[in-house]
Amino acid sequence: MARRRRNVEAFGLSFLDCMCCGFGAVILFYTVISAQSGLERMRHTEDLTAEVNRLEEEVITGTRNLVVLRNTLEKTESETARAAQRTTQIVEELRRRREQMSIFDNDSLARRQNIEKLKADIRSLEESTRRLKAESLDRAPPGQQVRAFRSTGGDRRYITGLRMRGQRILILVDRSASMLHEDLVSIIRLRNSSELEKRAASKWRRAIDTVSWLVTQFPAGSQYQIYAFNTQASPLLPDSAGKWHDSGDAKTLAANVEALRALTPADGTSLLNAFTAIRSLNPLPDQIILITDGLPTQGKSPGIRRYIDANGRARLFDDAIGALPDKVPVDIVLLPMKGDLPAAHRFWRLARLTGGVLLMPSKDWP
């Protein structure tokens, strides 16, 4: 029996399934890889975007800094220009100063030559002075140094009967309002004037000149003190209360006189407080020179009554004498007031009792 011939098929169902599965796997693999690539690109893109943003921020910051730097540069250039201009001015000023110094050097040389010539003249004059002193036989006694007083305008070198004989000399200067003038009406007028006019009053200037003369007459090696008084008494130099000055100290002597010139006459007169202040000195003075113009107008303190008569002033004077230290001579320079007739007698009696002198100088003294 004849066999039937089979038909052979090249592909079967199983093979196609395998092929389809393979292709599906490839497609799936490609899809997965594409998705991962997309995610990687996105991540890379985000990093690049952040970097771009950072760079843009830096560019903006740099632009701002550049503006600041440009402004600073412009300011620096402006300051440099001003500095260069100032440098030019300084250089020009230095040049002018050098020219001036050159002129001054020439002048200084001429002045030095003149100074040397003057020094030579001074040495010649000093030599002549020494020679004249050596040849002079008539010399003034110690204490008669009137040249310093004459330099201030005084030209009298004597006070009749008044001698500087103490080793501790106290000068009491009345600085009450009555020292402005000799006439009561003029005193009232000057009392209402300015401080400068009061200090320029002729009677007060005479009192100052009297002190200026007296301080040139201190004996060599003596000590002194100057008190001014009206209703109270105090030293001319406030820090010297109760102390004595050396008559050889020219600086302190000049300071006392200048302090007296700066005072202004004012208020009443308390001779009691002036004499009481003497006891604050240690040791006590051995000569007192009183410069005043009349009897006192009050005692230790102002009285109840506004005005005081001649008898009351005399009683105040007698009370004041009781405050004087014992055995101390009191020399009195009286610049009297018109109408105060008892004053001369009372002060003459005080000088006589203490062993001093009373002087009533003329108006052109000292």
* Model confidence pLDDT, tens digit, residues 230-246: 999 999 998 988 899 99
Identify the pLDDT of residue 350.
92
pLDDT, one tens digit per residue, over 27-54 is: 887 787 777 776 777 777 777 888 888 8
The backbone region for 267, taken as left when phi is positive above 0, alpha when psi lies in -120 to 50, beta otherwise, is left
Residue 139 has pLDDT above 80, yes or no: no
pTM value is: 0.59
pLDDT band with cut points at 50, 70 and 90 for residue 157: very low
pLDDT, one tens digit per residue, over 283-311 is: 999 999 999 998 998 888 876 666 778 88
pLDDT band with cut points at 50, 70 and 90 for residue 103: confident
Identify the pLDDT of residue 204.
93
Identify the pLDDT of residue 150.
44
Identify the pLDDT of residue 158.
52
258-269: average pLDDT: 92
316-323: average pLDDT: 90
pLDDT band with cut points at 50, 70 and 90 for residue 329: very high
Q: State the average pLDDT for the chain.
A: 82
